[in-house]
């Protein structure tokens, strides 16, 4: 891995390079995605089946686009029993974590006859997108469906591409069933997002779409946002490690590569104040790459977006951490809890030598669907909050309104909204 001294010029160049990976910069795909979305919106099943047959598997139509109970039973027969057991163990942790995120309504009253509050209501329908293609992600199934189920969503559907044989990976089906999905559809890409956003004869319309996907999925989610809610427009995966000379260089190198293997656009960055650690991590990473199954993808990722940055001070290192606002942040320093308190922007934070990023991907419990490309500055991980909405509740008695009605009328008149003022005034005409 390349080692770069962290100065202002290097920081700006790296930040600019990372931002080029954002889905907002993939305009060359926009026209294609918008055409797919519009066709599915206007033509429904006809367009959905045509694109599914073109991009995923042939022979998909209204009779078989939805996964049957028989197919799910077959998946249980095909899955490795140890994987099923692992999925069930992970589910316990994920449920326990997300249960703590549940929100409840509240109401405050006063003696003069007012009541103000907040009513929390689950969404009626949620659509979960689970990628296929280069890899299989049963873990993403758990991370999408569990918080929706805990929130109390009435109907949860899942879209995932089928293979050329017309089947969905058994681990994905089993994970969905274990999580409590209501229906699974064999569809992927922009056409799946559009089908869930607008509804077709075969696929119900949802209120929100969550889950990661490729650039076509990301751009499709962007296109339908406003017709439905979305979690975020996810970009390529990324990891940032903040480490000092107390860190184990083999651990750091291994963790950097754990994200670089996702795809060629993934980024893996170490920020440290130690030149010695930088050199050791670079050597360890080079050794690891040679023996890993996805070494070609990893090497391209490192060549394009992999850096070891050596900062002059810890303050400069943490400032850069906050500027990058990484999806995953590992802190392997002498005082990781203390350093965490100085971090303002990160999707998920992993503390200490034994809290490596894959722990969060699969097992610990927090959600692994995280903001990318610097959006951790204003977005959060997927959570139970994503599947509820809040309504404010207002009640005033006549006596309570009488005390303040002239203030409200005056305020409205100052904004030249006389009908607003009249709406209050009419209640006290007799006076």
Provide CB contacts within 8 A for 337, sequence distance 6+: 351
Q: Yes or no: say if 409 and 424 are a contact pair by the CB < 8 Å rule.
A: yes
Whether the pLDDT of residue 266 is over 80: the answer is: yes
Question: Active site residue: 238, 261, 284, 327, which one?
Answer: 327
Provide the pLDDT confidence category of residue 410 given band limits of 50, 70 and 90: very high
Could you tell me the pTM of the whole model? 0.91
388/428 Cα distance (integer angstroms): 38
Least confident of 257-266, 329-338, 393-402: 257-266
Looking at residue 14, its pLDDT comes to: 84
Average pLDDT over residues 36-52: 97
8 Å CB contact between 59 and 162? no
425-430: Cβ within 8 A, 24+ apart: 427/398, 427/401, 428/402
Q: What is the C-alpha separation between 330 and 333, in angstroms, rounded?
A: 9
Report the alpha-carbon distance of residue 188 to residue 51 in Å, rounded.
Answer: 9
**pLDDT tens, position by position, 69-108:** 999 999 999 999 999 999 999 999 999 999 999 999 999 9
Task: Inform me whether the pLDDT recorded for 137 exceeds 90.
Answer: no
CB 258 within 8 A of CB 357: yes
**DSSP tally for the chain: helices H, then strands E:** 17, 14
Contact 388, 148 (CB under 8 A): no
Q: Of all residues in the chain, what percent carry a pLDDT higher than 70?
A: 98
User: Can you give the pLDDT at residue 361?
Assistant: 92
Residues ≥6 apart with Cβ < 8 Å to 157:
125, 126, 127, 128, 181, 182, 183, 184, 185, 196, 203, 204, 206
DSSP label of 419: H
| Mean predicted confidence (pLDDT) in 187-209 | 97
Q: Which two tokens stand for residue 181?
A: 């999905």
Q: What is the pLDDT of residue 15?
A: 82
Catalytic site residue from 328, 330, 357, 409:
328
Helix axis angle, 170-179 relative to 69-78, nearest 10°? Answer: 110
Residue 3 CB: number of other CB atoms within 10 A?
Answer: 15
Least confident window among 98-107, 193-202, 289-298, 418-427: 289-298
pLDDT band for 323, please (50, 70, 90 cuts).
very high
What digits encode the pLDDT tens for the residues 141-166? 999 999 999 999 999 999 999 988 88
**Has 327 been annotated as catalytic?**
yes
Let me know if 328 is a catalytic residue: yes
DSSP 66: B
- pLDDT reported for residue 288: 94
Quick one: pLDDT at residue 102? 95
The answer to whether 308 touches 2, Cβ cutoff 8 Å, is yes
């Amino acid at each position: 891995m390349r080692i770069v001294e962290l100065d202002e010029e290097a920081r700006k160049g790296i930040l600019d390079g990372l931002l080029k990976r954002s889905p907002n910069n993939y305009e060359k795909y926009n026209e294609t995605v918008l055409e797919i979305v519009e066709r599915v919106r206007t033509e429904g099943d006809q367009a959905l089946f045509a694109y599914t047959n073109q991009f995923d598997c042939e022979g998909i139509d209204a009779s078989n686009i939805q996964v049957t109970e028989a197919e799910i039973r077959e998946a249980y027969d095909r899955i490795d029993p140890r994987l099923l057991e692992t999925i069930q163990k992970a589910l316990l942790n994920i449920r326990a974590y997300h249960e703590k995120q549940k929100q409840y309504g509240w109401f405050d009253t006063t003696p003069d006859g007012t009541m103000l509050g907040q009513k929390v209501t689950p969404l009626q329908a949620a659509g979960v997108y689970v990628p296929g293609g280069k890899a299989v992600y049963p873990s993403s199934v758990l991370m999408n469906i569990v918080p929706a189920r805990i929130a109390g969503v009435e109907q949860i559907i899942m879209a995932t591409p089928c293979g050329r044989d017309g089947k969905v990976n058994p681990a994905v089906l089993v994970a969905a069933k274990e999580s409590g999905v209501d229906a699974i559809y064999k569809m992927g890409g922009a056409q799946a997002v559009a089908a869930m956003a607008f509804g077709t004869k075969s696929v119900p319309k949802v209120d929100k779409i969550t889950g990661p996907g490729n650039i076509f999925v990301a751009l499709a989610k962007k296109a339908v946002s406003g017709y439905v809610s979305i979690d975020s427009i996810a970009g390529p995966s990324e990891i940032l490690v903040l480490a000092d000379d107390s860190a184990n260089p083999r651990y750091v190198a291994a963790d950097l590569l754990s994200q670089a293997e996702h795809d060629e656009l993934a980024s893996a960055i170490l920020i440290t104040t130690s030149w010695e650690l930088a050199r050791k991590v670079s050597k360890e990473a080079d050794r690891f790459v040679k023996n890993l199954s996805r070494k070609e993808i990893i090497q391209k990722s490192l060549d394009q977006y992999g850096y070891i940055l050596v900062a002059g001070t810890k303050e400069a290192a943490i400032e850069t951490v906050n500027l990058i606002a990484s999806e995953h942040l590992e802190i392997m320093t002498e005082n990781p809890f203390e350093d965490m308190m100085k971090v303002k922007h990160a999707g998920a934070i992993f503390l200490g030598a034994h809290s490596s990023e894959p722990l969060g991907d699969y097992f610990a419990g927090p959600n692994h669907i995280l903001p990318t490309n610097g959006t951790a500055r204003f977005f959060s991980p997927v959570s139970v909050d994503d599947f509820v909405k809040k309504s404010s509740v207002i009640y005033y008695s006549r006596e309570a309104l009488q005390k303040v009605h002239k203030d409200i009328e005056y305020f409205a008149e100052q904004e030249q909204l006389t009908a607003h003022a009249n709406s209050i005034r009419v209640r006290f005409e007799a006076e």
